[in-house]
Amino acid sequence: MNTVARPVGEGDAVRVPSPPRALVPILGAIVLLVVAVLVGLFVGPAGIGAGAIVRNALSHVPFLGVHSDMSATDSAILWQLRAPRVVLGLLVGGMLALAGGAYQGVFRNPLVDPYLLGVAAGAGLGATLMIVYSQGHASDQDLLPLAAFAGGSCAVVISYAIGRGAGRGAATLALGGVAVTAFLTAIQTFVQQQHSDTLQAVYSWILGSLDTAGWHDVLLLLPYAAVCAVVLLLHRRVLDVMALGDDEAGALGVNVGRTRLVLVVAATLGTAAAVAVSGLIGFVGLMVPHFVRLLAGGSYRIVLPLSLLVGAGFLAFADVIARTIISPAELPIGVVTAFFGAPFFAVLLRTNRSFRP
C-alpha cells in the first residue's frame, strides 16, 4: 500500500504518503529550491559566468584555498544585489506558503490564504499612511516595513477579538477578518483619494517587489520567519487531528481554542513580517499548498514542510521573471504570481469536484 487513509469527516480521508512516496516530492522540492537559487544568482543584465560565481563563493570558505579573479564590481553585484534578493525571495515565498497551508488547516477551508484575517488590509493601510505622510523623507521611508508590520498585526488582533467575542468557532474568526478587511480597505481608499499624488508609490508597494532588497531586509524578516516556521511545523500533526472537527479533536485531548490561537498568531506574525519587506504578493499562500496536495496527499505532516520548500522556490523563480521579462524595467512580482496562480486555481476549481483541504 502506498497510502494510509484515516477518517477526517463524513466520507473524507486524509491520505498520508508512505515514506518512499513522500521522499519523491521532498527531493523534488529540494531540487527546485537549489535550481531557483542558482538561476537567481546567474540571471541578470551583468554577464557573470556560472564558473566565476562558484569560484567566488568557494573563495569565501576558509581553508579551501580557492582564488577568485572576479572584479570588485561583479562581486558587489553578486553579493549586494542578487544574493540578498534571492534569499529574501526564498524567505517570503516559504513563509507565505507555509502560513497559507496552516490557515487552511486551522479554518478547514481550502479557499483561505494568509491574508484572511486582515493582514493585507492592515499592512496596506500602514504602508499607505507612511508613504503619504513621510513626504519622501528617507528616514521615514526606512520605517515603512515597521508601519506595514504594525498595521497587519493590529488588524489580526482586532479580527481575532471580534471573532472570539462572537463565538469560538473558526467561522466567526473568518467573518471577523472579512469585516476588518472591508473597514481598513475603506480607510485606505479614502486616504489614497485625498493624496492622489502618492498613488504610484502606494500601488507599487501593494503589487509587491523585491527590487530594493538588501541584507538588512533579510535580517529583519529572518527571526520572525524562523520562529514562526518552527512553531507551525511542530503543530503539523495537530492540524491533522483538528481536521476531524473541533469536538472530535477536543475528545482526543487537543485544546482546540489554545492551539488555534497559537497557529493563527504564528502564521500571522510570519505573514506580516514577510509582507512588511516585500509588499502584498498574492496567490503564493493560496496556490502552493494546493499544488503540494496534488503531489503528496492531504496530510499536514507533509503539506506544511513541502509548502515551505515549494513556496520558497516558486517565489525565487517568479522574481527572476519579474526582473528579466521586460528588462531593463521590472514587473511587480505580484503580477507574476497572479499570472501563474489565477489560471492554476481556476483549473483546480474546474476539475477537482472534491475540492477540500
- Residue 131: predicted pLDDT: 87
Nearest one of 345, 281, 306 to 31, comparing CA atoms:
306
CA distance 142 to 217: 10
Domains in the chain (CATH in brackets) are 15-45+89-351 (1.10.3470.10)
**Could you identify the residue written with the cell 498595521?**
151
- Residue 86: predicted pLDDT: 94
Most confident of 12-16, 139-143, 195-199: 195-199
Is the peptide bond prior to 17 cis by the omega test (within 30 degrees of 0)? no
CA distance 114 to 106: 11
- The beta strand positions in the chain, using DSSP E, are 3-7, 13-17
Read off the pLDDT of each residue in 98-125 and give the average, rounded to a whole number.
Answer: 90
DSSP state of 280: -
pLDDT tens column, 130-187: 888 876 554 455 688 889 999 999 999 998 888 775 455 677 888 888 899 999 999 9
- Give 258-277 as a 3 state SS string: HHHHHHHHHHHHHHHHHHHH
Instruction: Give the 3-state secondary structure of residue 319.
Output: helix
Nearest one of 148, 181, 149, 147 to 162, comparing CA atoms:
181
Degrees (nearest 5) of the Cα angle 107, 108, 110? 100
From residue 317, give the alpha-carbon distance in Å to each of 76, 175, 334: 22, 34, 13
Kindly report the length of the chain: 357
Read off the pLDDT of each residue in 28-45 and give the average, rounded to a whole number.
Answer: 89
- Residue 199: predicted pLDDT: 83
Partners of 6 in the β-ladder: 14
The alpha-carbon radius of gyration of the chain (Å, integer) is 21
- Residue 271: predicted pLDDT: 94
Confidence of residue 73 (pLDDT cuts 50, 70, 90): confident
DSSP state of 304: H
Confidence of residue 6 (pLDDT cuts 50, 70, 90): very low
At a CB cut-off of 8 Å and minimum separation 6, what does 156 contact? Answer: 117, 118, 119, 122, 177, 264, 268, 272
Confidence of residue 93 (pLDDT cuts 50, 70, 90): very high
CA distance 147 to 155: 12
CA distance 333 to 152: 20
Portion of the chain with pLDDT greater than 70, in percent: 88
Instruction: Give the 3-state secondary structure of residue 224.
Output: helix
Average pLDDT of every residue of the chain: 84
Please answer whether residues 228 and 266 qualify as being in contact, where contact means their C-beta atoms are separated by less than 8 angstroms.
yes
Per the rule left: phi > 0, alpha: psi between -120 and 50, beta: everything else, 135 is: left
At a CB cut-off of 8 Å and minimum separation 6, what does 171 contact? Answer: 107
